[in-house]
Chains A and B, each alone.
Chain A
Amino acid sequence: MGQLFAVEIIYRGVFQKTLAKNITRGIVLAAHYEGKPGISFGRYGDSPERNGIPAKSFAIVASDDLTLQLGMAHYEPTQVDVTVVLDDTLCKGIESWAWAGLHAVNQGVKPDGTLIVASLQEPEELLQMIHRREKPYKLGIVKAIASFSGMWIYKDDHTDVRILGAIAKAFPELMSIESVEKYINTKLKSSLKATSARTAYERFGAIEIEPGRGNAEEPFQFELLKWEEMREGATIKGQPQGGPYTDPVTGKLGGFRPARNDKFRKATTRTTRPVVNFETCTKCTLCWLNCPDGTFDVTPDGTYDANLETCCGCGICEAVCPVENCITMVNEAEFHDNNSQWLSYKKDKEGYLQWLKTTIHPIEQRSYGFRYRGQYAEQVPAALEIAKKG
């Protein structure tokens, strides 16, 4: 048997679907200049056309055709040489609708493999999100904002070739930077993009992550039912109605928290989360009424608290809230837990309001890409600047 190489790209549907495909295609075509056959594909069970859903693309490359067939015998590789994460908020783990539970982004990386994250954050910050594991791996960062490159009207910000350059550095056995440049010059016909790839190649470095380093949270898993245990008629039992809960300060029972299906989790779809100012909330109910996922708990105070195990981060609550800055969508990378905001507020009102004032409201870049038409195009110069600086 010859050598088999696998690269996995974790991305957000639908915005990064084309970007992910362009990268895996680039890998296969660049490696092919070195005589290696390969295939590129998206995970079929994913739902990559849906807004924000975590999804995967793969490139499988081999030293020869028979070895490639060995790689193709499993539809999805479970062990990869390189995993690329195209949006750093995905570092909290991924819940594609095609999997049961939460998958850590480093789950498939081989012990000598590399996890590459497109991010403006430092490794220390990312490791607060990336789950710890028992085997070592390498972590490298390509400085970039989450890119929509390749999607419809969005401008090309070179993220595709910069990732290719980084992969060539992290894993030269797969393909050399010269093959990447040849691919870019021949197929993409852009010497500027070839330069971007070379620059990313030269700058890229990965650090060794020792076993046990990272987010201590145990990724949520559950056993799939056997056929005889499943309900018949393709039916799912509804949840009980829910009810009031306790105010941690007064000890009084009040409000309403709906019961939720603990298996249907999808919070990793979220790239931004609502932050609520409980002081200015007028209890108008609009967020609660309009949330498509039943995310809001009615607190014993009569205000509304987003349940962050449920929230998908769509931002409708912010859009319908009539009070300025009462609900604010904030980039998910700012947070490292899903705890109740109302509980923090109740325990320390002054501290909470101070946090809102100093940490949340000054954040200008509260979401990206889809707040108004043309916003992403405006971000491209800044992205290119980041790419230049490295």
Chain B
Amino acid sequence: MATLTLPVEQQKPPVEQEALITGAEAIAVACKLANVDVVTAYPIRPYDTVMQYMSQLVADGELDCEFIVAESENSQFEIVKQASTCGARTFCGSSGIGWMYAMEVLTVAPALRVPLVALVGNRALDDPGAFGVEHNDALAVRDLGWLLTWVDSGQEALDTALIAYRVAEDRRIFVPLAISCDGAFLTHSQSLVKVPSAEQVKKFLPKYDRGDLLLHPDNVISVAPQANEDWVMEIRRQNYKVTEKAVDVIREVYADFERIFGRKYGNPFFEEFMTEDADVVLFGMGTLSIPVKVAIRKLREQGKKIGFVRLRWFRPFAGKEIAKALERFSAIGVIDRDLSLGSPDLSGVVATELRSAMYTNASTRPPVLGFICGLGGREVTLPDVEKMAESVFQAAAGKAQPLTQWIGLRG
């Protein structure tokens, strides 16, 4: 038997290409690499960047998929829900009130165990009509069984989209997953992104296999019958099991990502910045990481021991790990680009979640201050970050601080 010898060229490790693309476009590129089958679209800013780029990929013959422009977001998500049930790898997304208009479908999708991958181009919820970033759109599904992740760069957007398909389509998971990209700051700004090769992606991302849940004439099933109180609690428990497993699955997938693509993300659930010797930390999600990191470097020059922890995965909220990582600091300041009106201490969503995680998992009880900042797309400025840092240092020194403060507000 003859030995198969590959040509020298094919033995070389696959080479990554570099592209100057926006965060939304990076996700479109990931979808192309993932060879998605069905894409649905309905225009709303800032999500529509991805839809424009994908339609171009289809028109240029680079992506072979069903590209369906629906008549509304509700239908847009309904179509991918059905397609996913039939075994198609899907992509869709929306922003702000568009996402909310799909809420009926967003609500039912987790119980149906469809691994949708969606982009939320974070946008303030009308009224008033506004394009700028707030996180309340994606956070609206936080209790419904979706997995939710926030990214802060084009590279991370691309990588996380590939990771998203792998996580969502894991048989232990099979629930929808939304990747949040801050409107404007990430969806619309171009940066240099390394695009992995198709071979690498093939190694990382197996085919979507729906198994016994596939809706197909050869596998006759009824999906989503009307059920009464004899059944609903058991179905909810099955979704609960997914959230129990999700942390482990995500950790596995990141390890595999690192092995195949060579890019390291460290702890999948949060990124630590200058925390090694820090007394206090700021904590937040999304692109506010950039001004925060710059401000922290400046503060470090002044000898102030402050660090930053950026949360990547909001659902699952890796409460144990996060609390263990944060319990060593003497004060924590959470920056929320969202509101949770009427919540305990009138803080934002992330501050409230973190306090809850710390209460049950941390061995210490550092003060957790909440900051409402950067709403409606307002910039989180360097002086804003310095102001927040100052308050956190005061809290660490034992000087009482308000539990929630509005930063960057006129008046």
Contacts and interface: CB of A to CB of B under 8 A. Distances in A.
Contact of A226 (B111, B112, B225, B234): B234
Interface string B227-252: 11111011101100000000000000
A235 B230 contact: no
Interface of B: 111-114, 174, 212-213, 219-231, 233-235, 237-238
Contacts, number: 59
B174 A233 contact: yes
A233 B234 contact: no
B238 A227 contact: yes
A153 interface: no
B353 to A, nearest CB: 26
B230 A224 contact: yes
Nearest to A97: B228
Given A224-B230, A227-B237, A230-B235, A237 B224 contact: no
A224 B231 CA distance: 8
Interface string A75-119: 000000000000000000000011110000000000000000000
Contact of A98 (B174, B213, B228, B235): B228
Shortest Cβ-Cβ A-B pairs, 7 listed = A238-B220, A233-B113, A227-B234, A227-B237, A236-B222, A235-B221, A233-B213
Nearest to B210: A233
Given A232-B113, A232-B213, A233-B113, A45 B229 contact: yes
Contacts of B235: 227, 230, 234
A1 interface: no
Nearest to A233: B113
B174 A236 contact: no
Mostly, the A contact residues are: loop
B212 A231 contact: yes
Interface in A294-310: none
B107 to A, nearest CB: 13
A234 B229 contact: no
B222 A45 contact: no
A293 to B, nearest CB: 14
A249 interface: no
A288 B6 CA distance: 63
Q: Which residue, of A98, A99, A235, has the highest number of chain B Cβ atoms within 10 A? A: A235
Interface in A3-42: none
A263 to B, nearest CB: 11
Contacts of B224: 234-235
A225 interface: yes
Given A98-B228, A224-B230, A235 B222 contact: yes
A234 B174 contact: no
25 contacts: A45-B228, A100-B230, A224-B230, A224-B231, A225-B234, A227-B234, A227-B235, A227-B237, A227-B238, A230-B234, A231-B212, A231-B213, A233-B112, A233-B113, A234-B223, A234-B224, A234-B225, A234-B227, A235-B221, A235-B222, A235-B224, A236-B225, A237-B220, A238-B221, A239-B220
Nearest to A234: B224
A235 B229 contact: no
B170 to A, nearest CB: 13
Nearest to B229: A45
Contacts of A45: 228-229
A237 B220 CA distance: 6
A45 B221 CA distance: 25
A51 to B, nearest CB: 16
Contacts of B233: 227
Q: Which residue, of A100, A226, A231, A233, has the highest number of chain B Cβ atoms within 10 A? A: A233
Contacts of B212: 231
Nearest to B113: A233
Contacts of B112: 233-234
A125 B250 CA distance: 66
Contacts of A97: 226, 228
Q: Which residue, of B223, B228, B233, has the highest number of chain A Cβ atoms within 10 A? A: B228
A45 B226 CA distance: 11
A238 B222 CA distance: 6
Given A97-B226, A227-B234, A238-B220, 6 more contacts: A100-B230, A224-B231, A227-B233, A231-B213, A236-B222, A238-B222
A225 B111 CA distance: 17
A257 B222 CA distance: 20
Nearest to A46: B228
Contacts of B174: 232-233
B176 to A, nearest CB: 12
A238 B214 CA distance: 12
A233 B228 contact: no
A97 B231 CA distance: 12
Interface string A196-227: 00000000000000000000000000001111
A232 B219 CA distance: 14
Contacts of A224: 230-231
A151 B22 CA distance: 64
A111 B222 CA distance: 43
A226 B230 CA distance: 10
Contacts of A100: 230
A98 B228 CA distance: 6
A294 B213 CA distance: 24
